[in-house]
């Protein structure tokens, strides 16, 4: 079975009440300005199929829903 899009090439995946969130994190190093930790988040609306894939991938987590990693900046995209 292929990995679903929500868990591919990702630093962090977590669930909220309505979404499964894929969080990709970048560290921006700039010697002239401030450094930054940037998160590019994709919010996938929870469906039965996506929840099943999530449970199969992360069933051994102590905190099944996971947790967002804090960053200084973020962008969001929503997918139904």
Q: How far is Cα 53 from Cα 57, in angstroms, rounded to an integer?
A: 6
Please enumerate in sequence order all residues whose Cβ is within 8 A of that of 6, keeping only pairs 6 or more positions apart, or say none: 13, 20, 22, 42, 44, 50, 53, 54
pLDDT digit of tens for each residue in the chain (80 aa)? 344 444 444 679 999 999 999 999 888 888 888 888 889 999 999 999 999 999 999 999 999 999 999 999 999 999 99
Q: How many domains does the chain have?
A: 1
Which candidate, 28, 20, 31, 25, places its Cα nearest to that of 9?
A: 25
**pLDDT at site 7:** 42
**pLDDT at site 10:** 62
Place of tokens 């905190």: 63
**pLDDT at site 76:** 96
Range of the domain at 47: 5-79
Alpha helices by DSSP H, listed for the chain, are 48-58
């Amino acid at each position: 079975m292929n990995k679903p899009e929500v868990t591919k090439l990702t630093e962090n995946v977590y669930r909220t009440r309505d979404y499964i969130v894929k969080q990709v994190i970048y560290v921006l190093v700039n010697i002239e300005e401030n450094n930054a930790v940037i998160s590019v988040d994709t919010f996938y609306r929870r469906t039965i199929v996506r929840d099943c894939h999530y449970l199969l991938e992360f069933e051994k987590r102590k905190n099944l829903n996971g947790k967002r990693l804090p960053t200084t900046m973020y962008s969001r995209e929503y997918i139904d």
